[in-house]
Amino acid sequence: MVEFYGTAVSSRLMLGTAQYPSPAILADAFQRSKAGIATVSVRREAGSDQAGADFWALIKELGVAILPNTAGCHSAREAITTAQMARELFDTDWIKLEVIGHTDTLQPDPFALVEAAKALCADGFKVFPYTTEDLILADKLLDAGCEVLMPWGAPIGSGLGLSNIYGLRTLRAQFPDVPMVVDAGLGLPSQAAHAMELGFDAVLLNTAVAKAGDPAAMAEGFAGAVQAGRLAFEADPMEPRDMAAPSTPVIGKAFLS
């Protein structure tokens, strides 16, 4: 169980809803993984368009919390407008805030991100900002009113895993009481487990599941990895060491003369 903005969510796994081979496979992935939150791009929801209406009906049938996002926005103004549309469309004040600043890496624009976060928080939104592991940017987002941070593991859709472990570990240590979700770049369940072992509260992924040969099986694999990683973190794992340490006691060992 994890909590965001005072709302408890049953699973620490969050899944995107794009790129699946079919609606049935999407639904199966959510069912087998028991993911607690579904992210939905407003640009996929075409208002009164029949295809958009059918997609929205499918999402509602999943029975999970909905986190609309501003995917594809490249300015604060565009992201703010998209968030306002999402609030009307999905009847929620939750919003995953994305403001892309670099086309190749899809790295967020830190200046526009803070600008948009400040405006949306002031307007009553509960903002989940897609950010980097930068400490200064994290501090400014929290000052803007955000109560959750979503640092990337690696560029969106890359499957590279945690490309800056030191930065993520430092971010987690600097803000120990802030809910944090590792978002983007995860390609394997082992990478999700590593994120959870570092003390992050949840992970969000899309491409690694949707583009797998068996998306539902991969989603279930990620769910198990997230649970294992969290259990490991809570168990207070041993510190790594440079030298071997015998696990069998030496005292009392028989010696031959």
Residues 7-50: tens digit of each pLDDT: 999 899 999 999 999 999 999 999 999 999 999 988 655 555 55
Cα separation of 243 and 225, whole Å? Answer: 28
- Identify the band that residue 1 occupies on the pLDDT scale cut at 50, 70 and 90: confident
d(CA 160, CA 32): 24
pLDDT score of 54 = 78
220 pLDDT band (50/70/90 cuts)?
Answer: very high
Annotated binding site for 1-deoxy-D-xylulose 5-phosphate: 157, 184-185, 206-207
Q: Are 233 and 199 in contact (CB under 8 A)?
A: yes
pLDDT tens column, 126-177: 999 999 999 999 999 999 999 999 999 999 999 999 999 999 999 999 999 9
Q: Record the tokens describing residue 11, joined without a space.
A: 């699973």
What is the CATH architecture assignment of 2-235?
Alpha-Beta Barrel (3.20)
Output the pLDDT for position 242.
Answer: 87
Euclidean distance between CA atoms 244 and 183, whole angstroms: 36
What positions carry a catalytic annotation? 96
**Among candidates 8, 16, 19, 58, which has minimal Cα distance to 33?**
16
State pLDDT tens for residues 56-107: 888 888 889 999 999 999 999 999 999 999 999 889 999 999 999 998 889 9
**How far apart are alpha carbons 250 and 235 in whole angstroms?**
27
Cβ pair 189, 225 in contact under 8 A: yes
d(CA 87, CA 67): 10
Residue 11 and residue 230 in contact, taking contact as beta carbons nearer than 8 Å? no
What does the pLDDT average to over 249-257? 65
Binding-site residues from annotation: 157, 184-185, 206-207
Question: Are the C-beta atoms of 61 and 83 separated by less than 8 Å?
Answer: no
Q: How does DSSP classify residue 240?
A: P
Please, how many CA atoms are within 13 Å of residue 171, restricted to the half-sphere of its CB?
Answer: 30
- pLDDT at residue 57, rounded to an integer: 84
Task: Determine contact, residues 204/169, Cβ cutoff 8 Å.
Answer: no
Distances (CA, A) of 155 to 161, 209, 244: 9, 16, 37
Domain residue ranges of the chain, discontinuous segments joined by +: 2-235
